[in-house]
Amino acid sequence: MSATGKKLAGKVAIVTGASKGIGAAIAKHLADEGAAVVVNYSTSKEGADRVVSEIAGNGGKAVAVQANVAKQADIVRLFSEAKKAFGRLDILVNNAGIYEFAPLESVTRESFYKLFDLNVLGLILATQEAVKHFDPAGGSIINISSVAATLAPPTTSVYSATKAAVDAVTRSLSKELGPRKIRVNSINPGMVETEGVHSAGIADSDFRRQTEAATPLGRIGQPKDIAPAAVFLASSDSGWMTGETLYISGGMR
C-alpha cells in the first residue's frame, strides 16, 4: 500500500501513556496507517524507545516525549515538542491512566486524587491543550475509558467513577467542540492482557477466570483487539461519529 493510500497519511497523533499495553498498540497501529506518532511516556523511557524503534523499523515516523499528564507544565511541553517534531496535530489519544482497586474502607483522599488527577483532570487538560494546536480542519480526540464506567465491579468505586467521568466528559466535549470540527469519542475496553495486568497479578487469577466466564466471547482482550478501533475513530471513516462510547469487551457490559 502506498503512503498516500493509508488512512492517516499526513496526520500527526499524540498517544499518552504509549510505552506499553493498549497505548503502545494504538501508537503502532496509527503509524502503520501513515500517522506520525508522538509516543508519550511518564517513567518508562525504555518502553517508549522500543515502540519508537519498532515504528521506525516498519517505515513509520515516531518520537518519544516524556511528560506526566497529571501536570499542566508537562502537558504544555508535550504538545510543543510534538509541534517541533512534526509541525502539526490532528489526533489525540488520551490513554494515560492508572487503576487501583480498593474496598471502601481502604479508600483514602490521596488515592482518590491520584486516580482523578490523572484519569480525569489530566485528560481534560491534555484535550484543552490539543484544541489550541488543531488547525481549522479540526481533529479527532479518542479517550480510553473502560467497561468499568458502567459495569462498576466491587472494590472499584473510585476507578469506576473516573471512567464514568471520562464518558461524561466525552459526551459533553463532543457537543462543545463539534462546531470546531473536533470529534470526541471514547473506547471502553474490557479486561485486556497488558503488562499492568501481569504486574498486578491479575493475569493468572480467579478474577480473570471469573471475567472470562462472564464474557460472551469467552476470553479477555489483547491490545491488538483495541488498537484498530482507535484507527477507525482517528480516520475519516468515522467522520460523522462523535460523543460515542465504543465498548470493546467481548460482549461483557
CA 101 to CA 231: how far, in whole Å? 30
User: Cβ distance 48 to 56 under 8 Å?
Assistant: no
Give phi and psi for 38, each to the nearest 5: -95, 115
Count Cβ atoms below 10 Å from residue 65 Cβ, excluding itself.
Answer: 22
Neighbours of 155 (CB within 10 A): 15
User: How far is residue 240's CA from residue 231's CA, in Å, rounded to a whole number?
Assistant: 15
The set of cell numbers assigned to 16 is: 499518552
**How many Å apart are CA 162 and CA 94, to the nearest integer?**
13
Active-site amino acid positions: 159
